[in-house]
Amino acid sequence: MIEKEYQKNLLHDRGICVVIPTYNNAGTIGSVVNKALVECNDIIVVNDGSTDETSSILRSIPQIALVEYDKNRGKGYALKKGFAKALQMGFSYAITIDGDGQHYPEDIPLFLQANQEHPGSLIIGNRNLTGVERSKGSSFANKFSNFWFFIQTGKNLSDTQTGYRLYPIKKLPLLSLLTSRYEAELELLVFSSWHGIKIHPIPIEVYYPPKEERVSHFRPVKDFARISILNMVLCFLAVVYGLPLRIWRFLCKYIRTIYSLLFFIFFSLFLVTPLCWLYVHWGAMTEKKKFRIHQLIQWLSKFVMIKHGIPGTTFKYQVAKDVSFDNPHIIICNHQSHLDLVCQLVFSPKMIFLTNDWVWNNPFYGFMIRHAEYYPVADGIEALLPKLRSLVERGYSIAVFPEGTRSKDCRIGRFHQGAFYLAEQLGIPILPMCLYGPGKVLPKKTYSLNKSPIYIQVDSPISLQTLKEIGDYKAQASWMRKRYIQEYQDITNKIEQDV
């Protein structure tokens, strides 16, 4: 279990707050808020015109941000006011909890974990209703809502009425048009689905007090009528608005993928490789000609990542001030995707990669990288050392992926010791690079491109003396992996507030 203070800091770093709308919940609101404060420091409570003791209870809790107004306006209006306050305070996500005590604030870590696994998604708490005594009206309303949600979006959800959710509030569409009462939560789900916000359910527990203790503001006749009218409107909009949006997103994804594939095939197979072949076979291979091949590779990388851009992505980077690519290094980087090499090569033409056999023998660009003196790791480090030492003497850096293979889920895998052995044998420092995004744009074993920002951070070189003080190769690899895990988390916390 995550330690509470670490959890609270992580919620804050990821831009997550808790929004609690309440109306006449004097008997429960104090307990709900105090339990939520155990899990999260950033709590916004919206007092929706309560006429009981709710206001005085909330004012006695100084740790919260309180939004209140005199007239009861409904849950939809309260959510809008809470989201507006959260955005004003700089948050990107809001976990909504009902003030009547049916939700367990202790489940907040589940929403944090889901947000880390599915950044930018709308997370809904799928209530465990087994053995829970509910009114027939409540049960029917949920089934009724689930049915119409499927009709309007084509997606199945088993609990569209749950109020325990995590919203990506910066991405919520048409928030100003949100209806003011209970039906607003269904409306948020439908419009989010139409606009491509992924919806992920997670299991949560729920508490329903005995009938005589329940405080319900649900008005069966009026609220069912409002929900029915809303569903009629949404069904019409599903045809004229939602369906075209869904078709357009589907087409854009595959157009983006096909365009990128054709672009890659044309440039690699019909332009770059033939020109490189002619250049290599036109006269003797000199040091100058070899360097020009590297300059061509760097130019292509810059063209793809910076000038042309991969459709649906943005590319940004940050380089420490004391980094000079004119000096040889062992460059290490986390490995996520086939796009990783292109991201790194934008920085310098003097970069040699140790690759696997598949890359080295690739029919599209294998000829070029073989003549750029990239080497397959299958040859063995000891056999490669003389060649690598010669490259370092000529001013080249050696790039290695210490994980050895691409990550399936972008998490930092186990680091092998080879990079640290090479650094000692070649007498050069290690230059860490940390990548975010390529594994989300083109995940392992997938063939279509997703939309995601790409970011690469180049840190200060780590000297051989510093590495020796850490310990042997195994200790160095373990230390470096822990550093990468923390750095990657810091990067994801910052970037995933806006994805």
3-state secondary structure 103-124: ECHHHHHHHHHHHHHCCCCEEE
Burial (CB count <10 Å: 0-12, 13-18, 19+), residue 82: buried
> Which of 50-64, 352-366, 438-452 is most confident?
50-64
The pLDDT of residue 322 is 95
The pLDDT of residue 179 is 76
> Which of 282-286, 363-367, 382-386 is most confident?
382-386
Q: For residues 409-427, b (16+ Cβ closer than 10 Å) or e, as one string? A: ebebbebbbbbbbbbeebe
Question: Which of 188-202, 253-267, 409-423 has the weakest average pLDDT?
Answer: 253-267
The pLDDT of residue 429 is 98
Task: Report residue 411's pLDDT band, with 50, 70 and 90 as the boundaries.
Answer: very high
Q: For residues 137 and 259, what is the distance between their CA atoms, to the nearest angstrom?
A: 51
Higher pLDDT, 215 or 387: 387
- Are 320 and 458 in contact by the 8 Å Cβ rule? The answer is yes
pLDDT at 386 over 80: yes
pLDDT at 440 over 80: yes
pLDDT at 3 over 80: yes
Residues 129-179: pLDDT tens digits?
776 665 555 667 778 888 889 999 999 998 898 999 999 999 998 777 677
What is the rounded average pLDDT for all residues in the chain?
A: 89
Average pLDDT of the residues in 251-264: 86
The pLDDT of residue 65 is 98
Average pLDDT of the residues in 351-371: 81
Question: Which of 104-108, 112-116, 256-260, 412-416 has the weakest average pLDDT?
Answer: 256-260
Average pLDDT of the residues in 73-80: 93
Q: For residues 98 and 38, what is the distance between their CA atoms, to the nearest angstrom?
A: 16
